[in-house]
C-alpha cells in the first residue's frame, strides 16, 4: 500500500525545489509514495496530484496578505480536511511560511509530523516564529549554513542541505561554456548591463520605468553601453514588448542565466535574483519599492539593516541597496558607474561574492533532502 504524503509549495521557487526533491526521492523508492497537495506545473509533472495551484496562492507583501486572508484561510481549511480523509503519513511544507506555519499547527493537532523545507527568514524578521517552529515542526531543512546555527541555539532540529540554485548554475555554465566564452569575446569593446525589474507584475510595474530612465541617462553618457532585460515570464515579455524599448536595450526570452553570465554589471530587484548574480560573479546594485503600507510595517519588523540575500548571508553590506524613497536616479547612476568602470571596486565585490558562494554550496541539495526524507518515512 502506498504512503500518502502532503506536499505544499506556494510559489514558483518552491514548486521548482519540491519537484527536484520528489524526482530524487522516486529514484530511491520508485512509486511507493502518493504525493498530493498544493503546487505548480513542475510538481504535477513530477507526479504530484495538485489540488490547488501556486498561482492561486501567490500573494506578495503584508497588505496583499491581509486583503487575501479570507481566501487563503478557506484553502487551508479544505487542505486540512483532505489530509484527514487521506490519513496521511506526514507533510512536507516548502517555504511560504505565512500559510505553511498555520497549516503545520493544524496538522500537529492531528498528530501528523511536519517537515519544513526552506527556513522562514527569522534572522531578518518574525523571529518569534521560532516558537511555532519548535512546537509544530519536526525538522527544518535549511538552504543556508548559518540558519542551522540559529536553530541549534533554540533547540530545534535543523539540517543544512545547501541552495538548489548552486547546482542549476553549475550545470548551466558547464553546458554553455563554449557559447558563453564566444559571446564574452565579442563584448570586449563595450559594456553590457543587466536590468532585472523582478518577476511579479507588481514589481515590474514599480521598477521598470525607473530602470528605463536610468538606462537612458547612462547610455547618454556612455553610448557604447548596451542593456539586457531577461524576461522571467511570458507576461513580462508582453509588458516589455509594449514598452517601446530603445535599440540599446534588448530582451532575453530564452534563459535569464545567459544574461547574468555575460553582463558586466546589473541593477537588480531584491529577491533570489541577487543571489544568482553573486553566484555568477556579476557585480550589481539592489533596488526595491513596494506599497507604502507594506514598507511601513516591514520597516518596523525587519531586524537587519539590509534586505538583500547576499548582504544577509555575508552579514555586512557587499552591495549597495536603494530601497523605497532611496531609490533615486542620481545615486543609482553613480553606483552603476563604479560597478561598470572602477576595477578596484569590482575586484573587491567579486572577492566578497566568493565568500557567499562557499556558504551556500552543497553537492546536490534536492538529493540530500530527498535522502533524509526517504529515511524518515521508510
The answer to whether the CB of 72 falls within 8 A of the CB of 101 is no
Q: pTM of the predicted model, to two decimals?
A: 0.80
150 Cβ neighbours under 8 A, 6+ residues apart: 122, 123
Residue 70 has pLDDT above 80, yes or no: no
Confidence class for position 292, pLDDT limits 50, 70, 90 = low
Residue 356 has pLDDT above 70, yes or no: yes
Confidence class for position 290, pLDDT limits 50, 70, 90 = confident
Is the model more confident about 297 or about 362? 362
**Cell of residue 212, nine digits:** 528605463
Q: Name 329's bridge partners.
A: none
Confidence class for position 278, pLDDT limits 50, 70, 90 = very high
Residue 66 has pLDDT above 70, yes or no: no
Confidence class for position 279, pLDDT limits 50, 70, 90 = very high
Residue 328 has pLDDT above 80, yes or no: yes
Is the model more confident about 338 or about 188? 338
Residue 175 has pLDDT above 60, yes or no: yes
Lowest mean pLDDT among 227-241, 277-291, 298-312: 298-312
Residue 296 has pLDDT above 70, yes or no: no
Comparing C-alpha atoms, which of 234, 237, 264 is closest to residue 251?
237
SS (H, E, C) the chain: CCEEEEEEECCHHHHHHHHHHHHHHHHHHCCCEEEEEEECHHHHHCCCEEEEEHHHHCCCCHHHHHHCHHHHHHHHHHHHHHHHHHCCCEEEEECCHHHHHHHHHHHHHCCCCEEEECCCCCCCCCCCHHHHHHHHCCEEEECCHHHHHHHHHCCCCEEECCCHHHHHHHHHHHHCHHHHHHHHHHHHHCCEEEEECCCCHHHHHHHHHHHHHHHHHHHHHCCCCEEEEECCCHHHHHHHHCCCCCCCEEEECCCHHHHHHHCCEEEEECCHHHHHHHHCCCCEEEEECCCHHHHHHHHHHCCCCCCCHHHHHHCCCCCCEEEHHHCCHHHHHHHHHHHHHCHHHHHHHHHHHHHHHHHHCCCCHHHHHHHHHHHHCC
**Cell of residue 231, nine digits:** 524576461
Determine the pLDDT at residue 201: 79
Residue 139 has pLDDT above 70, yes or no: yes
Residue 87 has pLDDT above 60, yes or no: yes
Going along the chain from its start, the domains and CATH numbers come out as 3-162+362-376 (3.40.50.2000), 167-360 (3.40.50.2000)
Determine the pLDDT at residue 303: 63
Is the model more confident about 64 or about 218? 218
Determine the pLDDT at residue 65: 47
The answer to whether the CB of 114 falls within 8 A of the CB of 156 is no
Determine the pLDDT at residue 67: 46
* Residue pLDDT, tens place only, 220-272: 999 999 999 998 777 788 888 888 899 999 998 888 899 999 999 999 998 88
* Residue pLDDT, tens place only, 21-35: 999 999 988 678 899
SS (H, E, C) 80-95: HHHHHHHCCCEEEEEC
Lowest mean pLDDT among 57-66, 97-106, 234-243: 57-66
- What would the DSSP string read from start to end of 348-374? HHHHHHHHHHHHH--S-HHHHHHHHHH
Determine the pLDDT at residue 56: 66
* Range 179-193 average pLDDT: 80
Mean pLDDT of the chain: 89
* Range 152-171 average pLDDT: 94
Determine the pLDDT at residue 113: 97
Amino acid at each position: 500500500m502506498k504512503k500518502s504524503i502532503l506536499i505544499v509549495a506556494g510559489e514558483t521557487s518552491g514548486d521548482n525545489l519540491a519537484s527536484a526533491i520528489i524526482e530524487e526521492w522516486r529514484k530511491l523508492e520508485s512509486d511507493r509514495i502518493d504525493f498530493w497537495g498544493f503546487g505548480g506545473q513542475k510538481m504535477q509533472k513530477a507526479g504530484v496530484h495538485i489540488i490547488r495551484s501556486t498561482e492561486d496562492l501567490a500573494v506578495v507583501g503584508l497588505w496583499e496578505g491581509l486583503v487575501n486572508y479570507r481566501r487563503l484561510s478557506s484553502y487551508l481549511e479544505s487542505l486540512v480536511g483532505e489530509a484527514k480523509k487521506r490519513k496521511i503519513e506526514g507533510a512536507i511544507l516548502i517555504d511560504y511560511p505565512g500559510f505553511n506555519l498555520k497549516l503545520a499547527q493544524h496538522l500537529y493537532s492531528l498528530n501528523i509530523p511536519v517537515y519544513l523545507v526552506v527556513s522562514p527568514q527569522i534572522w531578518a524578521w518574525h523571529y518569534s516564529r521560532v516558537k511555532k517552529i519548535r512546537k509544530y515542526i519536526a525538522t527544518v531543512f535549511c538552504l543556508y549554513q548559518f540558519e542551522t546555527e540559529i536553530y541549534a541555539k533554540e533547540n530545534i532540529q535543523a539540517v543544512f542541505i545547501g541552495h538548489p540554485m548552486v547546482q542549476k548554475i553549475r550545470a548551466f555554465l558547464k553546458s554553455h561554456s563554449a557559447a558563453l566564452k564566444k559571446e564574452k569575446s565579442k563584448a570586449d569593446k563595450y559594456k553590457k548591463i543587466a536590468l532585472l525589474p523582478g518577476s511579479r507584475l507588481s514589481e515590474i510595474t514599480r521598477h521598470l520605468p525607473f530602470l528605463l530612465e536610468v538606462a537612458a541617462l547612462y547610455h547618454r553618457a556612455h553610448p557604447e553601453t548596451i542593456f539586457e532585460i531577461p524576461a522571467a515570464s511570458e507576461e513580462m515579455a508582453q509588458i516589455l514588448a509594449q514598452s517601446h524599448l530603445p535599440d540599446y536595450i534588448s530582451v532575453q526570452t530564452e534563459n535569464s542565466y545567459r544574461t547574468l553570465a555575460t553582463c558586466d554589471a546589473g541593477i537588480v530587484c531584491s529577491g533570489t535574483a541577487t543571489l544568482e548574480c553573486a553566484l555568477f560573479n556579476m557585480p550589481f546594485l539592489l533596488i526595491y519599492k513596494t506599497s507604502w503600507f507594506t514598507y511601513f510595517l516591514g520597516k518596523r519588523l525587519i531586524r537587519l539593516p539590509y534586505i538583500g540575500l547576499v548582504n544577509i548571508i555575508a552579514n555586512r553590506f557587499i552591495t549597495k541597496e536603494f530601497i523605497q524613497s532611496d531609490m533615486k536616479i542620481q545615486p543609482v547612476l553613480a553606483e552603476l558607474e563604479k560597478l561598470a568602470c572602477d576595477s578596484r571596486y569590482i575586484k573587491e565585490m567579486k572577492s566578497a561574492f566568493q565568500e557567499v558562494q562557499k556558504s551556500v554550496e552543497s553537492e546536490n541539495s534536492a538529493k540530500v533532502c530527498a535522502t533524509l526524507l526517504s529515511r524518515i518515512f521508510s
